[in-house]
């Protein structure tokens, strides 16, 4: 129990610090959006690239992990969609978004800080592989499913899927994954100054992400969505 508290307590304390900072006016809600963009566009890509580029490709490209995570994610999406549509009588978009909330959890902002304390630097590789499955498989699939209704469903399904995949080429985390794989494959290393810069930016990922989570909770209303929240959890 004490070991679990030692891992989880710092996470909740940083989240609480973010919440209280916004609650009492030290930061504003728009500030959290700015910090969130900083994490998504700089910290997490630096972290992912750093984790992948410093290891041999054979150690990074873990086929069993990718297959297990992809299979688990697809299973969760399928079961959640069936329950949402058949038992809970939800619309296709709502059932799809809730299945997305189950299958593509907040790996970067919450999952990584927790796993980092358990696995150390290896957590960065796990995050990169997780992001690969979520961004290349789960997100495009769920967005396409959510838009798959009406007379032009088939045409919109393909259009949404293509747009989602095209937008991935603009996603800094996906670009960081590709750059990290290429670096590991070719055995390339950044110059010392750039490597240290990437390392510094990467280390800001966990605390800033948790702080943003806490600040973003201020003002959220739970009325009317408690049942849906419980179902997703």
Is 13 within the bounds of a domain? yes
- pLDDT beyond 60 at 148: yes
Is 97 within the bounds of a domain? no
Is 35 within the bounds of a domain? yes
Indicate the pLDDT class of residue 27, thresholds 50, 70 and 90. very high
Segment 41-81, tens digit of pLDDT: 999 999 999 988 888 888 888 899 999 999 999 999 999 99
Residue given tokens 């991935």 in the structure block: 168
The residue range of the domain holding 20 is 2-56+108-221
Question: What percentage of the chain reaches a pLDDT higher than 90?
Answer: 43
Which ranges of the chain does DSSP label H, i.e. alpha helix? Answer: 2-23, 29-38, 44-53, 57-60, 63-82, 92-103, 112-119, 122-133, 139-146, 153-168, 172-186, 192-203, 205-216, 226-232
Is 231 within the bounds of a domain? no
The Cα–Cα gap between 108 and 204 comes to 12
Is 212 within the bounds of a domain? yes
Tell me the mean pLDDT in the region 125-147: 85
Is 83 within the bounds of a domain? no
202 contacts 50 by C-beta, under 8 angstroms: yes
- pLDDT beyond 80 at 101: yes
- Return the pLDDT at 24: 96
Indicate the pLDDT class of residue 114, thresholds 50, 70 and 90. confident
Is 95 within the bounds of a domain? no
DSSP state of 191: -
Average per-residue pLDDT for the chain: 87
Is 99 within the bounds of a domain? no
- pLDDT beyond 70 at 196: yes
Number of domains in the chain: 1
């Amino acid at each position: 129990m004490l070991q679990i508290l030692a891992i989880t307590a710092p996470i909740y304390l940083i989240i609480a610090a973010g919440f209280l900072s916004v609650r009492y006016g030290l930061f504003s809600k728009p500030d959290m959006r700015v910090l969130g963009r900083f994490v998504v566009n700089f910290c997490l890509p630096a972290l992912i690239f750093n984790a992948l580029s410093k290891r041999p490709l054979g150690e990074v490209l873990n086929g069993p992990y990718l297959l297990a995570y992809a299979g688990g994610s697809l299973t969760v999406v399928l079961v959640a969609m069936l329950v949402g549509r058949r038992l809970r009588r939800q619309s296709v978009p709502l059932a799809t978004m809730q299945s997305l909330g189950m299958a593509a959890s907040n790996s970067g902002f919450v999952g990584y800080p927790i796993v980092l304390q358990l696995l150390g630097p290896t957590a960065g590789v796990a995050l990169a592989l997780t992001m690969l499955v979520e961004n290349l498989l789960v997100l495009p699939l769920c967005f396409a499913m959510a838009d798959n209704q009406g007379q032009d469903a088939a045409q919109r399904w393909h259009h949404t899927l293509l747009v989602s995949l095209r937008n991935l080429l603009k996603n800094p985390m996906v670009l960081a994954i590709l750059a990290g794989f290429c670096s590991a494959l070719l055995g390339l290393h950044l110059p010392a100054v750039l490597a240290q810069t990437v390392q510094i930016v990467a280390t800001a990922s966990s605390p800033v992400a948790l702080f943003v989570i806490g600040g973003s909770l201020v003002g959220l209303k739970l009325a009317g969505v408690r049942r849906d929240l419980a179902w997703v959890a």
